[in-house]
Structure 1
């Protein structure tokens, strides 16, 4: 049998008291150890472009056999209208595609992650939103790569899609430059809402609903009050017709 002396008991008492002070709540005289802070999670890189075998280099619409449409927005203008449109779409369960202007991302970098966190597609609409088809090769390349670089810096990828600025379709030169930058397809559209002419919300609604059908890619814009006002009626009628508003990636999936 091992005898425990008085000295041993005092030693054990001091050790047990020290354990209580260091592992329990902080008290006067207690020795505390700093906890290691957890580094904030790094957002996953945004989806990048993907090649769609069997489809042309320039896409104007998706499959006509499925009840889906893509509402695509030129990303520019007042950020308040962008947030209003994103919020309205999300309340209705709709997902959008935003083709962002590079300088707009410079001014409002937080919107890139806001768009992606809402489940929407994000793509490239050139750096300055000028007539890219009319530029020299060097200038056009700079417009495409300049926006791609901003998207990569903000999201980890160059974005899902490229759409030329100031044109529904890309010239052969711009198509080639987009492909060399990493975009296998140029995203065009088959329904032009003409919302940028500020015709009034009812006119925007009528134009879209008159022309839209299964597989349509609709061109709309951030920055216009008419578009914000028209979107609820557009989404309601699309739902009544059984047409789901999905991202362009989903449309071509």
Structure 2
């Protein structure tokens, strides 16, 4: 008797299982390092900065959109004539569609930061697809029509997430400058500006969080960061524009 062909869904698991067989011998320490790596993953391409001789960089903003700080952040960017890349979650876009539309209408790039903002490490391929595709739909509903790049929640990934992105021709976008992510550290706006400006180099991708109520310092820092980097000869690009920069 002929057996029916195995369902396509089952075949999706093959690369995942192969990768797990390879990864398990790494042990816990190696596994944690891989999950948190900003410059390496087992499938596809990951970008934490762009190799270029041009003094260009991308300002990126994670999470939201949230009513507490989205419009003030947009005002700060508009005052300097700078476009950024906003990595937004699907659930918050669903809750505040008008804020997503405001970001798109202002000419910024919208990126996918998953739907639920949960760590996408030990997840199934179907869960990855749902998280990304639902958020893509919310992003398109804002009227944004440009490229949608993806940033993992908390920067964490293992097998299923990068495999999905690789199969769909999408890069994993991380960062090389991160100065406001420690919630247990209280810094002034001036200190945040200083740290950010000192760490930037040609091709940098800067991660900031500016939309929640507790991120006043970040919002106050955006204008001065732009001013000081302009003084150093830097120009601002969206992530997609930065990826198209001439190589070094």
Asked if TM exceeds 0.5, the reply is yes
Instruction: Provide the TM-score with structure 1 as the length reference.
Output: 0.70
Aligned equivalent of 1:184: 170
Query: Within the alignment, does 1:138 sit opposite 2:129 as a pair?
Result: no
Query: Within the alignment, does 1:101 sit opposite 2:89 as a pair?
Result: yes
* Coordinate RMSD, CA, aligned: 2.1
Aligned residues: 196
Residue by residue, what CA displacement relative to the aligned partner does 1:78-120 show, whole Å, maximum 9, x if unpaired?
Answer: 3241111111111111110001100110111012221122121
Q: Cα–Cα, structure 1 residues 75 and 184, in superposed 2: closer, same or farther, change >3 Å?
A: same
Q: Cα–Cα, structure 1 residues 179 and 136, in superposed 2: closer, same or farther, change >3 Å?
A: same
Instruction: Provide the TM-score with structure 2 as the length reference.
Output: 0.72
Q: Cα–Cα, structure 1 residues 138 and 248, in superposed 2: closer, same or farther, change >3 Å?
A: same
Residue 89 (structure 1) aligned to one of 54, 77, 91? 77
Aligned equivalent of 1:199: 186
* 8 Å contact from structure 2 (residues 149, 171) kept in 1: yes
Query: Within the alignment, does 1:245 sit opposite 2:232 as a pair?
Result: no
**RCO higher in 1 or 2 (8 Å CA, sep ≥ 6)?**
2
Aligned equivalent of 1:216: 204
How far off its partner does 1:127 sit? 0.3
Which structure 1 residue ranges, 5 or more long, are not aligned?
Answer: 1-55
Greater Cα radius of gyration, structure 1 or 2: 1
Over 6 Å off, 4+ runs: none
* 8 Å contact from structure 2 (residues 87, 151) kept in 1: yes
Q: Cα–Cα, structure 1 residues 77 and 249, in superposed 2: closer, same or farther, change >3 Å?
A: closer
